């Protein structure tokens, strides 16, 4: 089996980054120059694309996780930070407010709160860790939600 054939078999199931494909080929024992040629062939035919891979990662993780977690997952797959930032900006134009509204509703429902003027430190700590674990910046988000509520009251 050639390296190209191996890559075709892998890509038939799901998308891989170029880094992931090269790592898998090295594990199989293919030569580095053979790997490079096969990757170049796949990319010229548009069978493998790191930008498409990042777009699908962003799409699948965006509702569940924040930018930091998605970026880390892409870095683990061998995607450069510049490529990620460029695709993130193009994909999330105007979508961020809808995502934050959905996250706000989810947090309010999960922790049974009506507003974000939270007095109980336990609940605030739970919300803080919930947001942080998912890659969101809790201080920015909570202050933004508090400002929105203050504006709504006025």
CATH number of the domain bearing residue 63: 1.10.10
| Residues 59, 84 within the same domain | yes
Q: What angle do CA 64, 139, 67 make, to 5 degrees?
A: 35
Judge whether residue 96 has pLDDT over 90.
Answer: no
Say yes or no to pLDDT of 146 above 80: no
40 and 56 belong to one structural domain: no
Range of the domain at 109: 96-153
Q: How confident is the model at residue 55 (pLDDT cuts 50, 70, 90)?
A: very high
Q: Give the pLDDT band (50/70/90) at residue 154.
A: low
Give how many domains the chain has, as a whole number: 3
CATH number of the domain residue 5 falls in = 1.10.10.10
**Residue 142: pLDDT band by 50, 70, 90 thresholds?**
confident
Of residues 90 and 117, more confidence is placed in: 90
Query: Are 34 and 58 in a shared domain?
Result: no
Helix (H, G, I), strand (E, B), or coil: what is residue 57? helix
Give me 75's structure tokens: 């870095």
Residue 95 pLDDT level (bands cut at 50, 70, 90) = low
Q: Which of 32, 48, 64 is the last residue of a domain?
A: 48
* pLDDT band per the 50, 70, 90 thresholds, residue 97: low
Q: Are 79 and 54 in contact (CB under 8 A)?
A: yes
- Angle formed by the axes of helices 96-111 and 138-153, to 10°? 90
User: Which tokens is 69 given?
Assistant: 């977690």
pTM comes to: 0.75
Tokens of 96: 């961020």
């Amino acid at each position: 089996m050639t390296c190209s054939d191996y890559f075709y078999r892998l890509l038939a199931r799901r998308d891989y980054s170029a880094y992931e494909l090269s790592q898998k080929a090295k594990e199989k024992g293919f030569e580095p120059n053979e790997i490079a040629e096969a990757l170049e062939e796949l990319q010229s035919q548009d069978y493998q694309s790191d930008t498409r891979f990042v777009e699908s990662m962003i799409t699948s993780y965006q509702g569940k996780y924040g930018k930091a977690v998605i970026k880390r997952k892409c870095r683990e797959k061998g995607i450069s930070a510049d490529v990620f930032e460029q695709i993130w900006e193009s994909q999330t134009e105007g979508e961020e407010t809808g995502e934050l509204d959905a996250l706000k509703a989810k947090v309010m429902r999960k922790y049974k709160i009506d507003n974000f003027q939270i007095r109980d430190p336990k609940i605030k700590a739970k919300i803080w860790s919930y947001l942080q674990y998912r890659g969101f910046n809790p201080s920015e988000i909570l202050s933004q939600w508090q400002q929105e509520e203050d504006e709504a009251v006025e």
